[in-house]
Structure 1
Amino acid sequence: MNWDNARYFLAVARVGTLRGAAARLSVDQATVGRRIAALEETLAARLFLRTPTLYVLTPAGEALLEPAESMEQAALQIERRVAGLDDQLSGTIRVATTDSLAKRFVIPAIARVRKEHPGIDIVCLTSPAIANLTRREADLAIRTLRPDAPDLIARRLAQLEAGLYASHSYVAARGEPREGEAFEGHDLVMYEQPVVPSMWDALCGEPTTRGRVVFQTSSTMMLFEAACAGLGVTELPCFRADHEPQLVRVMPQRTDRFDAWLVAHADLYKTARMQALIAAVTDEFASLAH
């Protein structure tokens, strides 16, 4: 079985639908269907059980999953090692980060790199989900969780502060929450529980047990917009919220700190284009201290 067939098989196995696999592989749905049918014919085995909504692995498909993933790792290792030898200040870098970190740090760094090295193109992926650098879902990640994978290089960029904020209109209408009252009588704006579970226990160390959750989102940008619109109190990174004229910090003695990390795969870390972007991102975080 060649690698090209294996990647179609893995995409369907991971997503569960031809449409989802086609989107992941940037091909049309019919192509995925043909590839899976051809692979099953070559192996003389049915790999998926077709249900009205999902493609479910059969025992033969489950047996193929581990060898196909081994093929994937080998193919990706070849790509990374070849790309890692590139000393040209050109090419594409895929950067994964959050929308909040992107706005304050990553986009200014990208603008600087593009000005100095116009041959470097950037794809910026903003999502609360953690991109898998080993599978080359991204080449570089700027995030708040340190990875533990041995093939990744992680550099601590800065320690950032979070605080509690509400809009001026909310405070004028409802007053400020008071420490020790667990947000009694106040509305709360939160991440969805699966995104940041700890937020549902406490905001900057203040229990949320008596507050009322009135808005949930998976996006930091939407968290800011909801707070600015006066929907309630929330926890936000100070590097952005302190400069938002519609917001006021409440319970300023309540604070939380978190680290920002730069993460790259070891095979790509020393390429010229990656080093150019890493230097620019590092400078942007360093400017926060000045």
Structure 2
Amino acid sequence: MTKPANLVLAEHDNASIKSATLHTIAAAQRIGGDIHVLVAGHNAQAAANAATAIAGVSKVLLADAPQLAEGLAENVEATVLNIAKDYSHILAPATAYGKNIAPRIAAKLDVAQISDITAVDSADTFERPIYAGNAIATVQSTDPIKVITVRTTGFDAAAAEGGTASVENIDAAADAGISQFVSREVTKLDRPELTSAKIIVSGGRGLGNGDNYRQVLEPLADKLHAALGASRAAVDAGFVPNDFQVGQTGKIVAPQLYVAVGISGAIQHLAGMKDSKIIVAINKDAEAPIFSVTDYGLVGDLFTIVPELVKELG
């Protein structure tokens, strides 16, 4: 009997594959079996070609139609359901894209979604964080098709090169007609994308206001070629836009270096960054919870320490 294959829903921009997809493919590799990648979009041949080069992918399915151009959940879901019976596992990254689509697929298949997995124990058993990452639940599923979202920080990315998969064109589902794309405002960043950055400098409420955030943190981020992040408190206070937010209700990150400046370390923030390889915290409160997860802690006035650090970095 042929072992059922895994289907990975690719997050892409119709021209290239987003890094979250590479981490999701890595999770699929742990499950075992063939890996097929679905690229659902419009004028997305370039993205499909990029997917063929990913190590471990055996086939790329391209559904190309105008109604898939913007990744509307209803239309992508219907396209997946047309082929779902051919797969034992359907995986998507636990990003805004994947979280928008996967629950609809699970509901239509009448199975329980397995969310935010960080490890694969076997083909039917997975680990996922609960209680803001303070406990790990081991979940076993007997559903015939397992719909899974993957926490990208839990898996090293699959190699983007080295694969030799073929592309197969499949039919896109008809436009569901119950939602329409109106507009998208894309933030233009001169810095690395937060979720893929190797170094992140984050600021919290301790910075006082948005002007201080920029004046204190931007020179440090420039020196380190880092992305800028923020705690929920800093976002709620209006220091920076909400797409800067790191945490359970923001973006989950795991860079090589995470520098937390003026962040006390609320549990929801720690849940989003404690998997970082090296964590440095600067805070005047020696009892701040952030120090419980740091590799290096500096207790003192951030308005003195950060400029001195920038000066030392030359």
The TM-score, its normalising length taken from structure 2, stands at 0.28
Q: Please state which structure has a larger fraction of its residues in helix.
A: 1
* Highest RCO, 1 vs 2 (Cα 8 Å, sep ≥ 6): 1
Bigger Cα Rg: 1
